[in-house]
Chain A
C-alpha cells in the first residue's frame, strides 16, 4: 500500500461545477496535510494546508480532513478552465518526512 494514494484521473468537470479531489493516507500518526497545484511544466504551488478534522475554506477551495478515515479531500467550487492542472496531495509523516501522492489531473471544460 502506498503511503499517499490519489486517483490519477483525469477528472473532467464542466465550467462552474464543483470538482472533488480525494486522497487517502496510510500512517495514522500523520498530522499535517497539504494540497498543491501543478500546471504542466511548472513547479508545484501550495494552495491549502489543513491540520484539524473538518473543513477549511479559502476562496473557492475547501479542504476536508477526516483522520479517523485517513482521508483528505479538496473541493473546488465554480471550477474554471484555469483550474485545469494536476493536484498533488502531500502528507507529513510523524518522522517529519513529506510524502507526495502521484497527483490527480483535473480538466475543466467550457
Chain B
C-alpha cells in the first residue's frame, strides 16, 4: 500500500479564484495520477506523471495544470475556478501495476 495525502479535503471557493490542490506520497513512486469524479459517475483521468519533470494530459480535457518538480509531490492548479470545476479530485500513485488512491479533495466553486 501507499501513503498518499491530499489537501485540502474540502474546499469551497468563489468563481475566478486560483486554487492548488496538493497531493503527496511518501513511497517514492514515480507514477502519479489525477482523476476527476462527479458523484455517482465514473473516474476520468485528467493528468499523469511518470517521474520528475514528466507530465501528460489524460483523457478528459481539463483546464487544470500540474507540475512534478519532486518525486513525492504532484500538485494540481486551476488558474481561475468556475462552477463547472465543482467535482471530486482524486490523486493516485503507482509502484508498479497497482494504483493506490488518496482520500480526495471535494471542490465546490460558487
Query: A residues bordering B, Cβ < 8 Å?
Result: 32, 34, 41-46, 49, 88, 90, 92, 97-98, 100-103
Q: With a CB–CB cut-off of 8 A, which chain A residues contact B101?
A: 43-45
- 8 Å CB interface, B31-45 against A: 39, 41-43, 45
Q: With a CB–CB cut-off of 8 A, which chain B residues contact A46?
A: 98-100
Across the interface, name the chain B residue whose C-beta is closest to A102: B42
Q: With a CB–CB cut-off of 8 A, which chain B residues contact A101?
A: 42
Are B42 and A103 in touch, CB under 8 angstroms? yes
- Chain B interface main SS type: loop
- How many B residues touch A, CB cutoff 8 Å? 15
Q: With a CB–CB cut-off of 8 A, which chain A residues contact B99?
A: 34, 46, 90, 98
B86 to chain A, nearest CB (A): 14
Q: A32 to B99: give the CA distance in the assembly, Å.
A: 12
Are A43 and B104 in touch, CB under 8 angstroms? yes
Across the interface, name the chain A residue whose C-beta is closest to B91: A43
Q: A2 to B7: give the CA distance in the assembly, Å.
A: 33
Q: A100 to B104: give the CA distance in the assembly, Å.
A: 17
Q: Does B107 have its Cβ within 8 Å of any Cβ on chain A? A: no
Q: With a CB–CB cut-off of 8 A, which chain A residues contact B100?
A: 46
Q: Does B90 have its Cβ within 8 Å of any Cβ on chain A? A: yes
Are A44 and B97 in touch, CB under 8 angstroms? no
